[in-house]
């Protein structure tokens, strides 16, 4: 049975929740599920904004059929070819052979790569600033390359003041009936997943997100309709402000995130001592065991905090495996502009600190503190003293950076 909600008088959400997906993109756990949003504009012409993943295809197609209520589908706007949004295009074409696909040139090429259908005959190519009048509404298309794929575009409906924002402003988590962000306590309950979504999905492309934000700032936006997560119609500025911080790699919290890899607990002990010393100095801390917490959560926290400490045992002559994976993932996500300290441990041939430094040195604007703390097996008085000194140095740095911001 169909399950839809009205967005405005003539725009309907026809998307679906998926709570059975374990790993989004095969990488990111989604314990709260995910929504695949699609919107149907019922103007003099009918326009479907993107489709949905095949996993929810049956309900999605039923939703579209129900809301069309016997009308033909005139246009399908394809903002993003990633299969979580294009997976049911073939089915839409089969059911609505009259449909015109509205997309850009890059999208056309990508569709041919992913799908068998010959779509050449039914494509209307649009470029930056092109418009499509559907009756009362006029849609304007803006290219948003690399937010999150090169073909991405967003669509502005000037009549309704709606920005269909593709992956931008999305969130992990099923909607659970709450289509609008103002129907939940978003900043208390959803922000963590929104940050994890942003940093892991588009975090690498901050400059492109900034460019999209600049374009959007020139529009009169009453509502943002993303492809995942709730719609924004209140307090939009607060969420845009988060996007400004994330996309400019500006920390949200001035404090220290400590990520550690410990085999028998001694590296963890060093990390705990450092955290206690920092708290004694009034500095906010957060700690993660990289063997327990998924890298996507730690990446989100690394984007959040101003200062990062990585502590790792030496393992097989290198960095402990889950720490190496985290650091390479952070580098791949192009995190920048952080102050970093290192702790290495090794019962013999300690090398993890040197190798962690090599990875971090390849990242932009990373200020790596010189005095790395070295432990040989377990923490002794000498190393405790070094951890206290490191806490003092980090605390001063946190205060200094925070003051510089004020
Ligand atoms: Fe939700 Fe980049 O697809």
pLDDT digits (tens, 9 = 90+) for 227-244: 999 999 999 999 999 999
Q: Is the pLDDT of residue 62 over 80?
A: yes
Please work out whether the CB of residue 74 comes within 6 Å of at least one atom of ligand 1: no
Residue 406's pLDDT is 78
CA of 266 to the centre of ligand 1 (A): 41
Between CA 334 and CA 338, with CA 335 as vertex, the angle to 5 degrees is: 145
Distance between CA 221 and CA 160 in Å, rounded?
A: 9
CA of 366 to the centre of ligand 1 (A): 29
Burial state string for 266-300 with b = 16 or more CB within 10 A and e = fewer than 16: bbbbbbbbbbebbeeeebebebbbbeeebbbbbbb
Distance between CA 110 and CA 78 in Å, rounded?
A: 11
Please work out whether the CB of residue 14 comes within 6 Å of at least one atom of ligand 1: no
Higher pLDDT, 116 or 312: 312
Query: Over pLDDT 90: what percentage of the chain?
Result: 97
Q: Is the pLDDT of residue 347 over 80?
A: yes
Q: Is the pLDDT of residue 117 over 80?
A: no
Residue 276's pLDDT is 98
Between CA 303 and CA 206, with CA 232 as vertex, the angle to 5 degrees is: 30
Q: Is the pLDDT of residue 121 over 90?
A: no
Q: Is the pLDDT of residue 3 over 80?
A: yes
Q: Is the pLDDT of residue 215 over 80?
A: yes
Q: Is the pLDDT of residue 38 over 90?
A: yes
Residue 129's pLDDT is 97
Please work out whether the CB of residue 84 comes within 6 Å of at least one atom of ligand 1: yes
Q: Is the pLDDT of residue 364 over 80?
A: yes
Residue 44's pLDDT is 98
Pairing of strands 138-143, 153-157: antiparallel
Please work out whether the CB of residue 228 comes within 6 Å of at least one atom of ligand 1: yes
Residue 380's pLDDT is 97
**Mean pLDDT value of segment 141-162:** 97
CA of 167 to the centre of ligand 1 (A): 5
| DSSP β-bridge partners for residue 341 | 309
Give the model's confidence band at 52: pLDDT under 50 very low, under 70 low, under 90 confident, else very high: very high
Nearest alpha carbon, ligand 1 atom 3: 82
Enter the tokens of residue 371. 């005095």
Give the model's confidence band at 78: pLDDT under 50 very low, under 70 low, under 90 confident, else very high: very high
Please work out whether the CB of residue 227 comes within 6 Å of at least one atom of ligand 1: yes
State the Cα torsion 79-84-89-90 to the nearest 10°: 150
Please work out whether the CB of residue 301 comes within 6 Å of at least one atom of ligand 1: no
Give the model's confidence band at 326: pLDDT under 50 very low, under 70 low, under 90 confident, else very high: very high
Residue 161's pLDDT is 97
**Mean pLDDT value of segment 240-254:** 97
Please work out whether the CB of residue 85 comes within 6 Å of at least one atom of ligand 1: yes
CA of 204 to the centre of ligand 1 (A): 14
pTM over 0.75, yes/no: yes
Atom number, ligand 1, closest to the C-alpha of residue 201: 2
Pairing of strands 305-315, 253-261: parallel
Atom number, ligand 1, closest to the C-alpha of residue 149: 2
Query: Over pLDDT 70: what percentage of the chain?
Result: 100
CA of 227 to the centre of ligand 1 (A): 7
**Mean pLDDT value of segment 111-128:** 89
Give the model's confidence band at 17: pLDDT under 50 very low, under 70 low, under 90 confident, else very high: very high
CA of 298 to the centre of ligand 1 (A): 21
Q: Is the pLDDT of residue 119 over 90?
A: no
Residue 176's pLDDT is 96
State the Cα torsion 270-276-281-286 to the nearest 10°: 90
Please work out whether the CB of residue 333 comes within 6 Å of at least one atom of ligand 1: no
Query: Tokens 């400059």, residue?
Result: 207
Please work out whether the CB of residue 151 comes within 6 Å of at least one atom of ligand 1: no
């Amino acid at each position: 049975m169909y399950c839809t909600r009205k967005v405005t008088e003539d725009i309907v959400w026809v998307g679906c929740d998926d709570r059975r997906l374990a790993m989004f993109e095969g990488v990111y756990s989604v314990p709260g599920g995910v929504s695949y949003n699609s919107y149907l504009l019922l103007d003099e012409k009918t326009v479907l904004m993107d489709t949905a993943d095949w996993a929810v295809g049956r309900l999605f197609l039923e939703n579209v059929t129900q809301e069309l209520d016997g009308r033909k589908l005139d246009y399908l706007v394809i903002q993003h070819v990633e299969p979580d949004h294009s997976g049911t295009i073939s089915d839409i074409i089969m059911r609505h052979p009259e449909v015109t696909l509205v997309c850009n040139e890059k999208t056309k090429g990508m569709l041919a790569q992913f799908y068998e259908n010959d779509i050449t005959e039914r494509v209307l190519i649009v470029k930056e600033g092109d418009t499509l009048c559907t009756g009362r509404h006029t849609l304007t298309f803006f290219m948003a390359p690399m937010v999150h794929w090169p073909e991405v575009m967003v669509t502005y409906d000037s009549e309704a003041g709606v920005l269909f924002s593709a992956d931008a402003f999305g969130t992990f988590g099923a909607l659970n009936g709450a289509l609008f962000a103002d129907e939940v306590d978003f900043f208390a309950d959803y922000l963590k997943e929104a940050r994890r979504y942003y940093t892991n999905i588009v975090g690498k492309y901050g400059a492109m997100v900034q460019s999209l934000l600049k374009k959007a700032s020139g529009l009169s936006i009453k509502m943002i309709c993303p492809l995942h997560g709730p719609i924004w119609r209140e307090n939009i500025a607060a969420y845009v402000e988060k996007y400004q911080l994330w996309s400019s790699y500006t920390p949200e919290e001035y404090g220290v995130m400590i990520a550690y890899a410990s085999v028998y607990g001694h590296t963890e002990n060093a990390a705990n001592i450092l955290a206690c010393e920092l708290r004694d100095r009034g500095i906010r801390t957060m700690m993660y065991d990289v063997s327990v917490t998924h890298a996507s959560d730690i990446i989100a926290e690394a984007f959040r905090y101003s200062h990062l400490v990585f502590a790792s045992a030496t393992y097989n002559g290198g960095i402990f495996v889950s720490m190496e994976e985290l650091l390479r993932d952070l580098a791949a996500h192009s995190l920048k502009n952080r102050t970093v300290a290192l702790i290495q441990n090794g019962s013999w041939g300690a090398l993890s600190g040197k190798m962690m430094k090599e990875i971090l040195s390849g990242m932009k604007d990373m200020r790596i503190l010189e005095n790395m703390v070295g432990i040989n097996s377990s923490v002794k008085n000498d190393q405790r003293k070094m951890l206290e000194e490191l806490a003092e140095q980090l605390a001063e740095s946190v205060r200094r950076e925070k003051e510089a911001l004020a």
